[in-house]
Chains A and B, each alone.
Chain A
Amino acid sequence: MTLKASVKEAIAGYFFILPIMLGFLVFLAFPVVASFFVSLAEWNLINDPGFAGIGNYIQLFQDPFFWTCLGNTAYFSFYAVLFGMVISLYLANLIQEAKPKGASFFKSTLFLPVILSSVAVALVWQWLLDGQMGMINHLLNMVGIPSVPWLTSPAVAMNSVIMVAVWRQIGYNMVIFLAALANVPDDLYEASSLDGASRFQTFWNVTWPLISPATFFIAVTSIINSFQVFDITTILTNGGPANSTNTLIMMIYQNGFQFFKMGYASAIAYVLFAVILIITAIQTIVSKKWVHS
Chain B
Amino acid sequence: MSTLTVNKPIERAGAYFLLSVFAFLMLAPLFWALLTALKPVGAVFDDPFGLSVETWSLKSFVDVFQATPFHIYMLNTLKITAFSVLGVVATSALAGYAFAKLKFPGRDFLFMLLLATMMIPRQVTLVPTFILMKEFGLIDDHLSLILPGAISVFGMFLMKQFFITVPADYEEAAKIDGCGVLRRFFLIVLPFAKGTIATLVLLQVMAVWNDFLYPMVFLNSEMNRTLTLGLAILRGDMDTQWNMLMAAVVISNIPILVAFLVTQKFVIKGIAMTGLKG
Interface residues of A (CB under 8 A from B): 6, 8-14, 16-17, 19-21, 23-24, 26-32, 34-35, 38, 45, 91, 94-95, 97-100, 105-113, 115-120, 123-128, 133, 135, 138, 167, 171-172, 175-180, 183, 186, 189-190, 192-193, 199, 202, 213-214, 217-218, 220-221, 224, 227-228, 230-231, 234-235, 249, 252-253, 256-257, 262, 265-266, 269-270, 272-273, 276-277, 280
Interface status of B224 (Cβ within 8 A of chain A):
no
**Among A120, A202, A220, A273, which residue has its beta carbon within 8 angstroms of that of B124?**
A273
Would you call the interface of chain A mostly helix, strand, loop, or mixed?
helix
B155 nearest in chain A by CB position: A20
Interface status of B123 (Cβ within 8 A of chain A):
yes
**A to B contact number (C-beta, < 8 Å):** 299
Q: Contact at A256–B127, with CB atoms within 8 Å?
A: yes
Interface status of B57 (Cβ within 8 A of chain A):
no
- Note all chain B residues with C-beta closer than 8 A to A109: 23, 26-27
Q: Contact at A133–B242, with CB atoms within 8 Å?
A: yes
Q: Contact at B127–A262, with CB atoms within 8 Å?
A: yes
- Note all chain B residues with C-beta closer than 8 A to A27: 125, 129, 147-148, 151
B266 CB, nearest partner CB in chain A, Å: 12
Given known contacts A99-B5, A124-B30, A31 and B129 CB-to-CB distance under 8 angstroms: yes
Give me 5 A-to-B residue pairs in the complex whose CB atoms sit less than 8 angstroms apart, sorted by A's number.
A9-B102, A9-B181, A20-B153, A119-B231, A272-B123
Q: Contact at A98–B6, with CB atoms within 8 Å?
A: yes
> In the complex, how many residues of chain B place their beta carbon closer than 8 angstroms to a beta carbon of chain A?
98
Interface centre among B94, B102, B114 (most CB of A within 10 A): B102
Q: Contact at A125–B231, with CB atoms within 8 Å?
A: no
B92 nearest in chain A by CB position: A20
Give A118 to B256 CA distance when docked, in angstroms. Answer: 13
Given known contacts A34-B131, A273-B121, A13 and B44 CB-to-CB distance under 8 angstroms: no
Within 8 A of A (CB), among B255-278: 256-257, 260, 264, 267-268, 271-276, 278
B97 nearest in chain A by CB position: A16
8 closest pairs, A vs B, by CB?
Answer: A176-B275, A23-B151, A179-B272, A13-B104, A98-B15, A16-B98, A117-B210, A31-B125
B105 nearest in chain A by CB position: A10
**Among B94, B231, B252, which residue has its beta carbon within 8 angstroms of that of A17?**
B94
Within 8 A of A (CB), among B30-81: 30, 32-33, 36, 44-45, 48-49
Q: Contact at B124–A118, with CB atoms within 8 Å?
A: no
Q: Contact at A100–B16, with CB atoms within 8 Å?
A: yes
A133 nearest in chain B by CB position: B48
Give A123 to B37 CA distance when docked, in angstroms. Answer: 13
Given known contacts A21-B110, A183-B276, A272-B121, A35 and B128 CB-to-CB distance under 8 angstroms: yes
